Structure 1
């Protein structure tokens, strides 16, 4: 499932030449991940090459458990370079993650090894990647726990800072003094254990946090 047409068509042609019955399913033709997943599962694929970037449908990682449960071998082919993200894919059941910067031959070689029942990833590398994913998960949980310590107003102030507003602009928005907002910002920094507004905003963005009242 690939939304970059040229890459997808090249890959499909290479698979056809290898003797595989390949079919490309573009996420742009669907309005939800569930509709995309239902379409793929109806095809009963033995192997799925999955992109993590599904465009408007978001992150392809969400599809991995259902594909694996249905009996498909999943190979992730992605432009993402975050190795912790690769590890999460493996933890969810993917057989291997391959970079798009690699060659088609590497993808085809991986498929051949799966067809032959051979391992496609060194056990040590697999353990390392999954370990990175678990470490990142723990760190993100800790960050969310810190963010939960913010009072509703502190959360709103952080939300305004995330929009790029200055202390004066935040004060004007809430119709309070600059000194009041500075006191709230100090409380935010203390609760998040950071030393600057930039670091606080970066921490919130790291876990895709949203201020109170924002979905």
Structure 2
């Protein structure tokens, strides 16, 4: 009797780490699942990858958030769920707010790669059996965390938009770790001029130090004018 005839669902692994994918695929096959590993590295676009996965009609997709050159795997969650595939994220990312974003998009659960293989398999079994895989309270807590971080990021971006172009350029140099003197030399101005610009930056961002300004810009995933 083949695996599909046993009634176990088809599981697709979207994972760019070959060894991890092969190990998990083998473990799933030993459990009797119809497992298929698909490497994002073989595709030139997210849409091409999505089309390949949907053609095999998976019951469950184990999704890595790092899709190599294709970027963030979160973009696949909503279309997979819309196509009636269940999604469990298996990731090396430790940012719990990012986990909450995955759950808000429709993922059933997020599992860390640092966890055990048994935990992954146990989750797959519960999904296959139609059982809950995450307590409602934990799900709600993670989604709330993601929404809070999203609000904070939006507020930070609003503040950053208040900067003049030159202030944005100065903040960009601070992000690179440059000192006031180095920034002054770059723009061919005096140190005093740059200190005045830094003071204006701190006031507009409502922070008290250059370190705090850099931290706010990083949390907002902000890039200075002209940055790639």
After TM superposition, the score normalised by the length of structure 2 is: 0.90
In the alignment, which of 126, 142, 145 is matched to residue 139 of structure 2?
A: 126
Distance in 2, matches of 1:165 and 1:197, equals 11
Which residue in 2 is equivalent to 1:58?
Answer: 71
Which residue in 1 is equivalent to 2:96?
Answer: 83
Distance in 1, matches of 2:173 and 2:62, equals 40
Which residue in 1 is equivalent to 2:16?
Answer: 3
Distance in 1, matches of 2:120 and 2:178, equals 46
- Cα deviation for residue 56 of structure 1 reads 2.3
Instruction: Please give the secondary structure, in 1, of the residue aligned with 2:99.
Output: helix
Distance in 2, matches of 1:131 and 1:197, equals 30
- Cα deviation for residue 99 of structure 1 reads 1.2
Q: Can you give the 5+ residue segments of structure 2 that lack an aligned partner in the other structure?
A: 1-13
In the alignment, which of 161, 167, 170 is matched to residue 148 of structure 1?
A: 161
Distance in 2, matches of 1:205 and 1:149, equals 16
Residue 68 of structure 2 is aligned to residue 68 of structure 1: no
- Please give the per-residue CA displacement for 1:30-71, whole angstroms capped at 9, x wherever unaligned: 223222222212222111000111122221111111111111
Which deviates more, 136-145 or 158-167? Answer: 158-167
Q: Can you give the 5+ residue segments of structure 1 that lack an aligned partner in the other structure?
A: none
Instruction: Please give the secondary structure, in 1, of the residue aligned with 2:98.
Output: helix
- CA-based RMSD: 1.2
Distance in 1, matches of 2:223 and 2:115, equals 36
The runs of 4+ residues in structure 1 deviating greater than 3 Å are: none
Distance in 2, matches of 1:108 and 1:166, equals 51
Instruction: Please give the secondary structure, in 2, of the residue aligned with 1:24.
Output: strand
- Cα deviation for residue 180 of structure 1 reads 0.9
The answer to which structure has the higher strand fraction is: 2
Which deviates more, 125-134 or 205-214? Answer: 205-214
Distance in 1, matches of 2:74 and 2:204, equals 32
- Cα deviation for residue 130 of structure 1 reads 0.6
- Cα deviation for residue 5 of structure 1 reads 1.4
Which residue in 2 is equivalent to 1:165?
Answer: 178
- Cα deviation for residue 97 of structure 1 reads 0.7
After TM superposition, the score normalised by the length of structure 1 is: 0.95
Size of the alignment, in residue pairs? 215
Instruction: Please give the secondary structure, in 2, of the residue aligned with 1:23.
Output: strand
Which residue in 2 is equivalent to 1:184?
Answer: 197
In the alignment, which of 35, 38, 57 is matched to residue 22 of structure 1?
A: 35
Distance in 1, matches of 2:184 and 2:92, equals 42
Residue 208 of structure 2 is aligned to residue 195 of structure 1: yes
Distance in 2, matches of 1:118 and 1:170, equals 58
Which residue in 1 is equivalent to 2:46?
Answer: 33
